[in-house]
Chains A and B, each alone.
Chain A
C-alpha cells in the first residue's frame, strides 16, 4: 500500500480543533491548562453548540482562556465565576454555560459562590483545575496544597497546625442535592485525556439538558509553581496528588437532579 492510499479524509483520526484560536498560549510548557483548553474546544465543536455557548473565565492563570477558545466569554472577578454563570444560564436557559476555574479561585475566595451555585442545582458546568497552588501569582499556598508541600507562602512545607488541611471540595459538592455529575479526571497521559474528554462531553450535555450542576475537577500539573520539570511534575502528581484526590466519578445521576 502506498502512503497516499492511507492519507485520505476517511482515515483521518485527529485534526486541530477549529475553535482553538491559532495564537501562542501564555501557559508554561507542561502545564495542564492548555490540554484542557483543547478538550473544551473539541467537545464544543463536536457537539456543534458554539452558537449557544458562554464560557466564564476566572482570575488565575486561565484568565485569558477567552483568547484561546473561540466562543463567547465573560471574564469574572476572582472567585465569582459561578455567580456570573448562574445569571447567564437563568437568563439564557437554552445556552451551554460553563466556568473554568483554578483551585484558589474556586475553593478559596469563591467557596461561597461555588457551594451555593451547586446547591441551587444551577444548570452549569464547572471545570475545576486543581493544581494545588496559586499558579498565576507566583506559587503561593492554595487550599488544595498538600501537607508538606512547599510553596512561596509555606516555604518549609504546609503544616496542619499553621495552615489547616488540604481541602477536597469535590466530595463535599457531590453530597449536595443540586449536583448531577461530579467527577475527578486528569490529563497527564493520553488515556486520561480521553477520559477527561468524555467527562466534559457528559457535563456539557447535562448543562444543555438542564440536569443540574456538573463539576469536572481536573487534577493538574503546575510544573512551574511546583518547581519541577514537566515530566517530573506529572510523576509527582501521580505519586502525591492522586492519593489525596483520587480519580474517578464521585456522582452520576443519569436522569439529573430531583426538582
Chain B
C-alpha cells in the first residue's frame, strides 16, 4: 500500500490479518509518503472512514477478516452505489459466526455476489501467493479508479500468514491534491476556484432515476467482466480435465495436477505410449 502511493488505511484488528495494521503503524508512512494510517473503533467505523476518504478522490483501503467484513457490508453497498473507488481486503477465516481463525474460502459468494444490500458487484482478485497479494494492491487500486468501483482482494488465512520471497514494486509517489482534483473531477474536497459544488450520495428517491443508476452499474460490471476477467492458465493446452481454483486451494490444485501428470507419464511409459 505504501509503495503504491496509497493515501489512507483504516482498519480494526482481527486475526489472521492484524499484521497489516501493525506493520503500517510500525512503518509510520505518514512521515515518509504522507499516507494516513488509523486504527478505527470498529469495522463499521473503518469502512465508513474508507467511504469518507474515497469520496474525496483519495486512494484509501481497509483490510479485515470474515466477521469484520460482514460488519462492513452496509458501507460496501454505499461505496458501490456512490461509484467511488476503494480497495478492500478480506483475509478469510472459517465461519459462520465467530468460527475459526484458520483459513477458509467460505466468503466466496459474499465477495462475488456483492455481499451487502442492493444489486452491486465488486472486482474480486484472489491471490494464491504472497507475490500476487503484493501485486494485487496496485492492480486493485488501478482497476477501482479506472471503473470507479470497489476492488476487493479475497485472500485466505493461509496466504495471510504465509512467508514467501516477494519482489516488492517500486515506490510510486502519492498523487498531489491537484492531480486528484484533475483525475477525479467528481470528488468532494472543497470548491477550489469556486467550481460548482460536488455532492456524492447514494440516495435517489426518483424511482426512474434509481433504475437508470442500476442499469449504469450493471453496464459497468459487464464491461469489467469483458475486459478484466483474468486467471493463470497452467498446462491447459493438452488437458483432459481442468481444475479451477483460487487462493491456497489453487496451490493444492497445482500440486495435485503435477502429481497426476507424473503418474500418467509413468503409466504411459510403462505401456510404451509416446510421452507428451
Q: CB within 8 Å of B: which residues of A?
A: 50-54, 56-57, 63, 66, 70-77, 80, 83-88, 90-92, 95, 112-113, 116
Q: Are B36 and A90 in contact (CB under 8 A)?
A: yes
Specify which chain A residues have a CB less than 8 angstroms from the CB of B60 in the assembled complex: 87, 91
**Does B199 touch A at the CB level, under 8 Å?**
yes
CB distance from A106 to the nearest CB of B (A): 14
Separation of A53 and B46 alpha carbons in the complex (Å): 23
Given contacts A50-B191, A56-B52, contact A66 B201 (CB under 8 A): yes
Task: Knowing A74-B52, A80-B75, A91-B36, say if A51 contacts B45 (CB, 8 Å).
Answer: no
* 8 Å CB contact of A51 from B7, B44, B194, B201: B194
Interface CB pairs A-B, < 8 A, 18: A53-B190, A53-B191, A57-B201, A73-B201, A74-B55, A77-B51, A83-B44, A83-B46, A83-B52, A84-B49, A86-B38, A86-B49, A87-B8, A87-B38, A90-B53, A91-B56, A112-B44, A113-B41
**Cβ–Cβ < 8 Å partners of A70 in chain B:** 197
Chain B residues, Cβ within 8 Å of A116: 40-41, 45
CA distance A83 to B49 in the complex (A): 5
Contact residues in B for A73 (Cβ distance below 8 Å):
188, 197-201
B272 close to chain A: CB less than 8 A: no
Q: Is B41 in contact with A88, judged by CB distance below 8 angstroms?
A: no
- Bound Cα distance A2, B94 (Å): 84
- Output the nearest chain B residue to A73 by Cβ-Cβ distance: B199
CB distance from A182 to the nearest CB of B (A): 20
| B58 interface residue (CB < 8 Å to A) | yes
- Report if A74-B8 is in contact (Cβ < 8 Å); known contacts: A51-B192, A86-B52, A95-B189: no
Task: Write the B50-92 contact mask toward A (1 if CB under 8 angstroms, else 0).
Answer: 1111011010100000000000001100100000000000000
Asked if B274 CB lies within 8 Å of chain A CBs, one says: no
Assuming A51-B191, A63-B203, is B48 touching A80 (CB within 8 A)?
yes
Residue from the list B44, B46, B56, B58 in contact with A54, Cβ < 8 A: B56
Residues of chain B within 8 A of A91, CB atoms compared = 7-8, 36, 53, 56, 58, 60
Given A63-B203, A75-B200, A77-B74: A83 touches B40 (CB 8 Å cut-off): yes
Bound state CA distance, A112 and B202, in angstroms? Answer: 23
Q: Do A80 and B45 touch (CB < 8 A)?
A: yes
Distance, CA A72 to CA B44, complexed state (A): 24
